[in-house]
Amino acid sequence: MALIVQKFGGTSVGSIERIEQVAEKVKKFRDNGDDIVVVVSAMSGETNRLIDLAKQISEQPVPRELDMMVSTGEQVTIALLAMALIKRGVPAVSYTGNQVRILTDSSFTKARILQIDDRKLRTDLKAGRVVVVAGFQGVDEHGNITTLGRGGSDTTGVALAAALKADECQIYTDVDGVYTTDPRVVPKARRLDKITFEEMLEMASLGSKVLQIRSVEFAGKYNVPLRVLHSFQEGPGTLITIDEEESMEQPIISGIAFNRDEAKLTIRGVPDNPGVAFKILGPISEANIEVDMIVQNIAHDNTTDFTFTVHRNDYLNAMRVLENTAREIGAREVIGDTDIAKVSIVGVGMRSHAGVASRMFGALAKEGINIQMISTSEIKVSVVIEEKYLELAVRALHTAFELDAPARQGE
Ligand code: ADP
Ligand code: ASP
Ligand code: MG
């Protein structure tokens, strides 16, 4: 008999029929003798719909009230799923994050889980009930409702699994595992049987939205056995593991991640003195804007050009701050570009192979794609390119690093 935490995403609970199907699935596990805690997201599209409502009142809604509202999406699905289970003769009870007491800090819209009170859950499990918990939400020490950021139900699932020392955390979604890249962009993408926490963390933070970054961090930190599976198709899914097998089979690259969420800012003709980077980025960080990639070029006339990327949501703010800085330090001009995308290759196998970056640049050059910025680490190489070439770039790299699935018969 195992204790399993199962998380079902938005499309998996996107209609009454789907919720009934999820109930059937949970019932099967329970009939097998397992203890089950289920975490659900809001019905697909619901969180976006709620955010749109708030934006009709104000372009930048008060974060506390926004959380108060968007947390309702999950409150609907937990109750519907509990009803569907009870209808099938499975004792079940639903709880919001607040009712469990998933304690978070007070950073509305991106709160971090601090502590989970597992007493209620354990009592219910002992009494033979399936516990259905609302994903994506918690409560701060003052009793305010908080949310964990987009995709946050994954983190609720993993955090509950850690608190309950569950045998496995199963993330059920609309794909049958973690792929070499988003299968919706590259039809030849391949499902991975296994991926290391380190690689998954890198993939998630570089844009693969199949798992929220924090859920992977949490699983790695507390060693939660984590698996991504399809909600309604049988299959082994993808196991996220610690071990990094150094076999001959180890591919150099495990996956390709990408995102269109960044924007690029450049300040040109900056007098080149010590402290320049600090003068430019200090005010940006004071404005609470996170910077991702940075490039500095020295010109011949003792000036420098400085380029960095931020989240697109922060673009206008960052532009305002940078224009101020430009005036203060006597820079020539400030330019911005929102039509960019970041493509990254990820793999622990890179550590033992030279020439990975140049192979990447070669593949992009062959397609005539210009690279605007580069950043590397031990297990990834990222480039910024023009957004319109994103899909072409991902497909070219997928082929260049021999990740394409073998063609099926008849193809
Ligand atoms: P859920 O609503 O179940 O949380 P998400 O939409 O958040 O589902 O995540 C699943 C989606 O992640 C898939 O439909 C797929 O398009 C996307 N995705 C992006 N990168 C990958 C990848 N490397 N492997 C699998 N899916 C990926
Ligand atoms: N419903 C939330 C969202 O759409 C949380 C989640 O689905 O994980 O972001
Ligand atoms: Mg998700």
d(CA 239, CA 255) in angstroms, rounded, equals 15
Q: Residue 209 C-alpha to ligand 3 middle, in angstroms?
A: 6
DSSP helix/strand/coil, 146: strand
d(CA 5, CA 171) in angstroms, rounded, equals 8
Reported residue count of the chain is 411
d(CA 209, CA 182) in angstroms, rounded, equals 9
CA atoms within 13 A on the CB side of 49: 8
DSSP helix/strand/coil, 191: strand
Render each residue's pLDDT in the chain as its tens digit; 411 residues.
899 999 999 999 999 999 999 999 999 999 999 999 999 999 999 999 999 999 999 988 999 999 999 999 999 999 999 999 999 999 999 999 999 999 999 999 999 999 999 999 999 999 999 999 999 999 999 999 999 999 999 999 999 999 999 999 999 999 999 999 999 999 999 999 999 999 999 999 999 999 999 999 999 999 999 999 999 999 999 999 887 665 555 678 999 999 999 999 999 999 988 888 999 999 999 998 999 999 998 877 889 999 999 999 899 999 999 999 999 999 999 999 999 999 999 998 888 888 999 999 999 999 999 999 999 999 999 999 999 999 999 999 999 999 998 876 554
Please tell me if the CB atom of residue 254 comes closer than 6 angstroms to any atom of ligand 2.
Answer: no
Per residue in 232-258, pLDDT (tens digit) is 999 999 999 887 665 555 678 999 999
d(CA 283, CA 281) in angstroms, rounded, equals 6
In one-letter notation, the amino acid at residue 69 is M
In one-letter notation, the amino acid at residue 329 is I
173-185 burial string, b = 16+ CB within 10 Å, else e? bbbbbbbbbbbee
Give nearest CA residue, ligand 1 atom 10.
Answer: 210
d(CA 59, CA 47) in angstroms, rounded, equals 16
Q: Residue 7 C-alpha to ligand 2 middle, in angstroms?
A: 11
Give the Cβ contact number of residue 298 at 10 Å: 10
Which residue, chain included where needed, has tokens 């002992």?
126
d(CA 403, CA 181) in angstroms, rounded, equals 9
Q: Residue 186 C-alpha to ligand 1 middle, in angstroms?
A: 13
Partners of residue 169 on adjacent β-strands: 5, 226
Ligand nearest to the CA of 109: 2
Query: Model pTM?
Result: 0.93
Please tell me if the CB atom of residue 41 comes closer than 6 angstroms to any atom of ligand 2.
Answer: yes
In one-letter notation, the amino acid at residue 136 is F
**DSSP per-residue codes, 97-114:** HHHHTEEE-S-TTS--EE
